[in-house]
Copies of this chain bind each other. A is one copy, B any other.
Amino acid sequence: MGHRRGEVANEEATSGWGTTPCSTCPLRASKHYRKFSPGELKFMETFKIDERRRETGQTILTEGESANHMYTVLSGWVMKYKSLEDGRRQIINYAFPGDLVGLQGAAFGKMQHSVEALSPVTLCVFDRKKLWSLYEAHPGLGFDITWLAAHEKSILADFLVTVGQRTASERIAFVLVNLFRRAQVSGMVKRGTMELPLTQDHLADTIGFSLVHTNRSLSRVRRLNAFEWHGASFTMLDEDVLVEFASIPPAVAGPRPFI
């Protein structure tokens, strides 16, 4: 059912200085991301209007509110969630470096879910009003945004299958594998280890079970000896064990765009 920590971040905290130029963006150097043309790169430098930092537990976007900005995660962990009136909370998805946040606000005017930092986070800030000019000036970038939206659609579908059909232990295995793989693509895994700043409360609200039952199921999954998870440090020892245990399809490869 989950805790509600959310302090709302003051709007202009730590902005406007020391912005990383897109040309030296550490993500773009990664092999997982597609190359940009010089023109696209130049456009991105003007499209990106700022860089923002948020601390653990701070709210980045709020369900129901309109948003003038769209973000891309540069570093850190972020979660997207929706709440029901009585406090039940479902974590919809997580966002990693390279992932888009707030496209809905740009497309519909209002956010349908909230976004919160799970760790200290750096965000690239884009102006919603300039989104149109992106499509006009650089169709390839427009296509990239569609690609990212379609990509997240397929992740949401995977989560829906998991929550709808898998057992408690399978759900946990699935989430851990999914997050680990995505962290790898984002360059957040070093020697099999990543930061995993989730509480079991987060995990419970991700897989749709109570905290207590999540705890008991997790301890059962631990006995597979496929990973070690202490505090915020997660080490994958044998991904295949989890993959087989929860019958998880292979990761879909392919270079990804990064607006």
A110 to chain B minimum Cβ distance, whole angstroms, is 7
B150 near A90: Cβ-Cβ < 8 Å: no
A255 to chain B minimum Cβ distance, whole angstroms, is 11
Interface residue A159 (Cβ < 8 Å from any Cβ of B): yes
Which residue of B is nearest A142, CB measured? B142
| Most interface-central of A92, A113, A252 (chain B CB within 10 A) | A92
Cα distance A10–B101 in the bound complex, in angstroms: 41
Interface residue A112 (Cβ < 8 Å from any Cβ of B): yes
| Most interface-central of A92, A146, A206 (chain B CB within 10 A) | A146
Interface residue A237 (Cβ < 8 Å from any Cβ of B): no
A7 to chain B minimum Cβ distance, whole angstroms, is 23
A164 near B163: Cβ-Cβ < 8 Å: yes
Cα distance A152–B145 in the bound complex, in angstroms: 14
A147 and B252 in contact (CB under 8 A), knowing A84-B247, A157-B156? no
Interface residue A88 (Cβ < 8 Å from any Cβ of B): yes
A165 and B108 in contact (CB under 8 A), knowing A136-B139, A149-B153, A153-B152? no
Which residue of B is nearest A135, CB measured? B139
Interface residue A196 (Cβ < 8 Å from any Cβ of B): no
- Please give the residue numbers on chain A whose beta carbons come within 8 Å of chain B beta carbons, in ascending order: 80, 82, 84-86, 88-90, 92-93, 103-104, 107-110, 112-113, 131-132, 135-136, 139-140, 142-143, 145-147, 149-154, 156-161, 163-166, 205-208, 247, 252, 254
B143 near A92: Cβ-Cβ < 8 Å: no
A107 and B208 in contact (CB under 8 A), knowing A156-B156, A156-B160? no
Cα distance A205–B86 in the bound complex, in angstroms: 26
Which residue of B is nearest A207, CB measured? B164
Cα distance A232–B92 in the bound complex, in angstroms: 32
Residues of chain B contacted by A142 (CB below 8 angstroms)? 135, 139, 142-143, 146
A209 to chain B minimum Cβ distance, whole angstroms, is 9
A88 and B165 in contact (CB under 8 A), knowing A142-B139, A157-B112, A160-B156? yes
Cα distance A132–B80 in the bound complex, in angstroms: 31
Cα distance A136–B139 in the bound complex, in angstroms: 5
